[in-house]
Amino acid sequence: MTAAMHPRGDSAPLVILGTMNFGARTPDAEARRVIQRAVERGVTHLDTANAYAEGASERLVGEALRSYPNLHVATKVGMGSMRGPPEGLSRARLAVAIPQSLTRLGLGSVPLLYLHQPDPKVSQDELLDGVEDALSRGWIGAWALSNHSAWSSLALITAADARGLPRPVAGQMLYNTIIRDLEHEYLSFARATGLTTVVFNPLAGGLLTGLHPREAALPGTRLAKNPTYQRRYGSARLRDLVDELRIVAQAAEMTLTALAYRWLVSQPGVDGVLIGPGTVRHLDEALDALGAGPLSDEVRREVDKAWRAWRGTDAVYAR
């Protein structure tokens, strides 16, 4: 996994199969079909977490590894559950959570471990003690960050350097055609430090499928059931922007979904795109769109024009 996690250079972003839905919204049998189809279509990387479906996602990924041992897998700890308070990143908690993940995955070592989210209650030294333990015991091949700001990522990189520890190799971050905060600082920071950038939520929790009516989310979807996604993507203002992007997609003779995926392929600094299909059909739609390549410069300009008009200003805190 670590050998393949690198800034993309001139190549296309790495496509990574996300498994957050597996064992929950996506039943086990369909999850197995999605993985099989992904392998058939050339996907080589899977992403999971101990928080996904209360561990069921890791179990299903571990099952897949027995059939497809050459798959590269990354998992995450630090959130622990999607239903309750986060488990945190204390040294003691890492010493428990990582072996539990390895057991579910059926592995003695996982190539890449993400710290799922920052833990403000744990000191930097204690966190790195836990990472050092995991590396020295051979539980992980490399470590990475998820949902961390540029400044907190840099602080950990600097502290790891001072201790002689390997640096984190990647950052997994929220980025799509409507949530573009990474552009203000993070993408430049990641390029400067050699940190691979993997992005998630390419379809904004389903909002960029264009299937949700303005009045309410479709029943049974994340936008209908998940409070985090409702806060993130539920505003009428965001739906105004989606309507504008739909017009751009129609003019370019593609679906809104295809526009969203192909826009990410077009963005410099995006090294990997994490897709989260719940069905084989959704998987094929994602891979077809990503495989179609970048948007034309003209379409990219129209996307930017819609986003800037919606945002209402070009000001950011630093120049």
From CA 102, how far away is CA 65, in angstroms rounded? 12
SS3 of residue 72 by DSSP = strand
Burial of 99 (0-12, 13-18, 19+ CB in 10 A): middle
- Report the pLDDT value the prediction gives residue 146, as an integer from 0 to 100: 99
- Report the pLDDT value the prediction gives residue 1, as an integer from 0 to 100: 39
How many residues can be counted in the chain?
319
- Report the pLDDT value the prediction gives residue 7, as an integer from 0 to 100: 65
- Report the pLDDT value the prediction gives residue 9, as an integer from 0 to 100: 61
Please state the pTM of the whole predicted model. Answer: 0.93
pLDDT < 50 positions in the chain: 1-4
- Report the pLDDT value the prediction gives residue 214, as an integer from 0 to 100: 66
- Report the pLDDT value the prediction gives residue 228, as an integer from 0 to 100: 78
From CA 286, how far away is CA 43, in angstroms rounded? 12
For residue 74, the surrounding DSSP H or E stretch is strand 72-77
- Report the pLDDT value the prediction gives residue 85, as an integer from 0 to 100: 80
Domains of the chain: residue spans and CATH: 2-204+272-292 (3.20.20.100)
DSSP per residue, 264-304: HHHSTT--EEEE--SSHHHHHHHHHHHHT-PPPHHHHHHHH
pLDDT in tens, 81-137: 767 788 999 999 999 999 999 999 999 999 999 999 999 999 999 999 999 999 999
Tokens 């571990």 correspond to: 62
- Report the pLDDT value the prediction gives residue 218, as an integer from 0 to 100: 60
- What's the distance, CA 35 to chain centroid? 17
Query: Hey, what amino acid is at 292?
Result: A
Q: Compute φ and ψ for 176, nearest 5 degrees.
A: -160, -175
